[in-house]
Structure 1
Amino acid sequence: MFGYYFKLGVRSLRRNPALTALMVLTLAVGVAASVSTLTILHMMSSDPIPQKSTRLFVPLIDNGPVEGYTPGEDPDDIQISYKDAVNLLKGGQGVRRTALYGVSAPIQPPRADIQPFNLSGLAPSRDFFAMFDVPFIHGQAWTEQDEARGADVVVLSREIAEKLYGDANPVGQRVMLMGFPFTIVGVIDNWMPLPRFYRLNGGVRYGAGEEFFIPFATSIRHELTHNGSMSCSTNSGPGFAARLASECTWITVWFETASAGERADLQAWLDNYAADQRKLGRLKRNAVNRLYDVPEWLVFTKVVGKDSKLQTWLAFGFLALCLVNTIGLLLAKFSVRASEIGVRRALGASRTDIFRQFLIETGVVGLVGGVLGLVLAFGALALISMQGKQTAAVAHMDWQMLFVTFVMSVGAAILAGLLPTWRACQVTPAIQLKSQ
C-alpha cells in the first residue's frame, strides 16, 4: 500500500498547485536557512583529526604572577614560555612531541619574473609532521641531525612549490629565505585541518594553510620573531635573548601518546615537572596544570563561539515558524477533500488507512521541499563563502549534511502534517454523504 499511497501523494501535488507550491516553498526556505547554519556549525565543530584526537595533548602551565590571581581561574593564555617548551621537549614524554610557533619571512624566488614576497608559516620541531599526519608529495621532514644543529632547511607547501618551480620536484634546491640560502627538503600536499587546532593563537582558525615550515631550533637561531599573539606579565627586556629567558608565553607544545590511557601518566609527569620548577622559584601561582586532548582543546579555546550557536538556534526558530505556516496550509488543503474522505470511509477505509495515506502525501511534500531546500542551501552557502577564505573553508556541505537535509525536510513535513491528518481522520462519512 505504501507504493500506492506514494503515487497518490505525487498526484496530489497537482491539486491546488498554488497552495502546494506555497507549502513546498515555505518548507524549503525554512530547511535551507536551518541547514546552511547547521552545516557551518558542523564544519566548525568537527573533529579535525579523528584518528588520534584522544591521543594528542596540549599542556598549559600557568607561570603568571601571584598579584591579581584568583585560585582556580583559567590560565591567562593558551601558550607557554620558551623555557617550559624546551624543558617539555627534553622530557621525552609520549611517543612524539613538538613545540611550535607561527613565523613569517620574506622569500627571494629563483625566477626573475617573480618579485620577492612574504610567506606565513610555522616553526615546529621535527615530530610535528608525523604527529599531525601531514602528507608529503616530495621529500620528507628534516632529519634529527638537521634539527639538532638548527640547519637552514625548509619544507614548502604545494602551492608555494608550484608557484616557484612549477611541476618539477624542488627537493635539494636552494631558496633565499630571510636573506639566507635554505635547502628544500620536502613539499607537503594540500593540508588544511578544520579548524587549525594545532595553532589557535594566530587569529586565523579556518581556511589558511601553512606556506612553509622551518625547524624550531633554526628559527630560534635566526632570532625569528613570532607571528601571532604573545602574553607577558612583566617586561621581558630588550633583545631576543631576553624574550627567551622571560616568562612570556608565545609557544604551543603538543604530545602524542601511544594510547588515550597514558594520559594519567603524562599528567603525573607534568605535575612533577611543575613541582620541580617551583623549587627553582618559578610557577608561583601553584595553579592546576592543565592537559587537553583535541576535543577538549576546541571547547576550552571556544573555537565555536556563542554567536555561531545562537545563529543556529535562530535558524531553527525560523524553521519552526515555517512549520506553523505549513500546518495552516495543510489544514486548508485537506479540508477541501472532506467529501473524498467521506466516500472512502463509507466504502470501508479505516481511519488508520486515511491517516497513513495523508501522512505519506505530506511526506511527498517534504521530499520535494527537501530537494528545493537543498538547492537554496547550496546557494546560501555559496553566498556565505564569498565573504572570505575563513568562511569559504567551512561553508560547504558534506555527505552527512546532505542526508540530514532530506531527513530534516521529510521529518518536518510529517511533523507539520500530524494535526491536519488527524483532523482529516475525524470526518464523519454520513454527514459528507448527505451533503452530496
Structure 2
Amino acid sequence: MFHYYFKLGLRNLRRNPALTALMVLTLAVGVAASVATVTILHAMSGDPLPHKSDRLFVPMIDVVPLKGYTPGTKPSFGQAQLAYTDAKNFMASKMGIRRSVMYGVAGPVEPARRDLGAFRAQGLAPTRDFFAMFEVPFLYGQPWSEADDASGADVIVLSRALAEKLLGTVNPVGQRVTVLGRPYLVSGVLDRWDPVPRVHRIIGSKGAFGTEDEFFIPFASAIRHETGHDGGMACSGVERGPGFQGTLASDCTWLQFWFEMASAGERSELQAYLDSYAAEQRKLGRMPRHAPNMLYDVRQWLDFLNVVDNDNKLAAWLAFGFLLLCLVNTIGLLLAKFSVRAAEVGIRRALGATQRDIFRQFLIETGVIGLAGGVLGLLLAYAALAVVSSQSKELGTVAHLDVPMLLLTFAVSVLAALLAGLLPTWRACQVTPAMQLKSQ
C-alpha cells in the first residue's frame, strides 16, 4: 500500500497547487536556513584527524614573568606557544613517536618565468615529522630527510597550487625555486591538502579557516637564515635582546609545538615529563608563576582556542527556531488542505477504510510534501552557502555541503513535514462517515 499511497500523494500535489506550493516553499526556506547554518557549524567544529586526535598533544607551560599574575587565572593565548629554548628542549626529549616545532614565514617568491612577476607567499617552517604527524599527502617527491632537518639544508616542499604556478604541471622535484630571497631545492609537492579547521596552526596570520600554506621549509633552515616570523608573538614583560638572536635567547613565546604519542594512554607519561621539565626549569630561575602545565589533545585544543564561539552556536539555535516557526505555518496550511477533503475521507471510511488507513495515507502525503521541500531546500541551501562563500576565502572553506549534510537536508525536511502533518492527519481521521454521507 505504501507505493500506492506514495503515488496518490504525488497526484495530490497538483490539487490546489497554490496551497501546495506555499507549503513546500515554507518548509524549504526553514530547512535551507537551518541546514546552511548547521553545515557551517559542522565544518568549523570538525576534527580533521578523528582517528588519531586523542594522541596528538599541544604542551602549554607558563614562562611569563611573575609580575601581574593572579594564581588560578585561566591560561591566555600567549601561553599557547613556546619560547625557542623550550621548543628546542622538547625536540631533544625523544618523547612520543613524533615531535614537531613550527612557525609561520612569509616573503617574496621570484619566478624564473619572465611572464610572471615576483609575488608574496605565506608558508610554514616545521620539522620533518610534521608531514607524517598530520598525514600530509604528496603528489610528487617526499619530505626532506632527517639529515636536512639536522643541518638546516635549503630544501623546500611546495603546495600543488604554487608548484603549478611556478613550474607548470611537470614533476618539479630536483629543480630550484627562489623563495625568501634565496634558492631552495624542491624535495616534494603536496597534493590537495586543506584541513578544516587548520588545527596544526590555528594561532597565526591565517587562523583556523585560512587558506593552505604555499610552501614549507625546514625549521632549522629558517632559524639559520634568521627568517622573520609571520604570526603572533607574546613578549609582555620579557627581557629581549636586539635582533633575531635576541628573540631566540628570550622567553618570548612564538613557536607552536606538537607531540604525537603511540596511544592515548601515554598521555599521563607525557604529562609527567612536562611537570618534571617545568620543575627543572624553575631551578634555573625560569617559570616563576608555578602555573599548571597543560596538555591539550586536538578536540581540547579547538575548545581552548574557542574555534566555535557562542555566536556561532547561537546562530544555529536561531536557525532551528526559524524552522520551528515554519513548521507552525505548515501545520496551519495542512489543516486547511486536509479539511476540504472531509467528504473524500467519509466516503473511504464508508467503503471500509479504517482510521489507520486514512492516517497512513495522509501521513505519506505529508512525507511527499517534505521530499519536495527537501529538494527546494537543498537548492536554497546551496545558494545561501554560495553567497556566504563569496564573502571571503576563510568562509569558503567551511561553507559547502558534504554528503552527510546533503542527507541531513532531506532527513530534516521529511521529518519536519511528518511532524507538521501529525495534527492535521489526526484531525482527518476523526471524520464521521455518516455525517459526511448525509451532507452530500
Instruction: Tell me the equivalent position of 1:192.
Output: 194
Query: Structure 1 residue 207: deviation in Å?
Result: 4.3
Residues 21-56 of structure 1 deviation map (CA, whole Å, 9 limit, x = unaligned)? 100011011111111111111111111112321121
Q: Is 1:269 the counterpart of 2:252 in the alignment? A: no
Cα deviation per residue 1:41-85 (whole Å; 9 max; x = unaligned)? 111111111232112111111112223323232222221111111
User: Secondary structure of the residue that 1:394 maps to in structure 2?
Assistant: coil
CA distance in 1, matches of 2:95, 2:194: 27
Deviation at 1:287, TM superposition (A): 1.2
d(CA) in 1 for partners of 2:180, 2:7: 70
The equivalent of 1:397 in structure 2 is 401
1:150 is aligned to 2:141:
no
Q: CA deviation at 1:307?
A: 1.7
Please tell me the residue identity of whatever aligns with 2:157.
V
Q: Which moved more, 1:171-180 or 1:86-95?
A: 171-180
- Residue in 1 that maps onto 2:220: 217
2: CA distance, partners of 1:8 / 1:315: 33
Q: Does the alignment pair 1:88 with 2:87?
A: no
Contact 1:120 1:211 in 2 (8 A): yes
Alignment of 1:30-429 (within 5 A): 30-76=30-76, 77=78, 78-204=80-206, 205-234=208-237, 235-429=239-433
> Greater shift after overlay, 23-32 or 109-118?
109-118
1:264-286 Cα shifts (integer Å, max 9, x gaps): 11111111111111111111111
* Cα distance in 1 between the residues matched to 2:305 and 2:434: 67
C-alpha separation in 2, matches of 1:304 and 1:337: 49
Counterpart CA distance in 2 for 1:277 and 1:192 is 38
The residue number in structure 2 matching 1:17 is 17
- Tell me the TM-score normalized by structure 1: 0.97
Q: Is the CA contact (8 Å cut-off) linking 1:58 and 1:254 kept in structure 2?
A: yes
Return the letter of the residue paired with 1:434: K
- % of aligned pairs identical? 65
Q: Find the residue that maps to 1:14 and give its secondary structure.
A: coil
Q: Distance in 2 between matches of 1:242 and 1:147?
A: 23
Please tell me whether the aligned partners of residues 59 and 257 of structure 2 are also in contact (alpha carbons under 8 angstroms). Answer: yes
- Specify the code of the residue in structure 1 equivalent to 2:433: P
Q: Matches of 2:344 and 2:114 in 1, distance apart?
A: 81
How far off its partner does 1:418 sit?
A: 0.8
CA distance in 2, matches of 1:72, 1:426: 64
TM-score normalised to the size of structure 2? 0.96
Task: Specify the code of the residue in structure 2 equivalent to 1:218.
Answer: S
Could you report, residue by residue, the CA deviation over 1:100-144 in whole angstroms, capped at 9, with x for unpaired residues?
A: 010112122122222122220000011111111111122211111
CA–CA separation in structure 1 for the residues paired with 2:190 and 2:322: 44
SS at match of 1:186: strand
What amino acid maps onto 1:163 in structure 2? K
Counterpart contact for 1:192–1:207, Cα < 8 Å: no
- Check 1:49–1:382 CA distance in 2 against 1; reply closer, same or farther (3 A cut): same
Name the amino acid aligned to 2:58: V
- Whether the 8 Å CA contact 1:108–1:117 is kept in 2: the answer is yes
2:130 partner letter:
F
SS class of match (1:36): helix
Amino acid at match of 1:156: L
Check the 8 A contact 1:207/1:392 in 2, yes or no.
Answer: no
Contiguous gaps of at least 5 residues in structure 2:
none
Matched residues in 2 for 1:4 and 1:73: separation? Answer: 66
**CA shift at 1:177, angstroms?**
2.5
Q: What do you get for the CA RMSD once the two structures are aligned?
A: 1.3
Runs in 1 of length 4+ with deviation above 3 angstroms? none
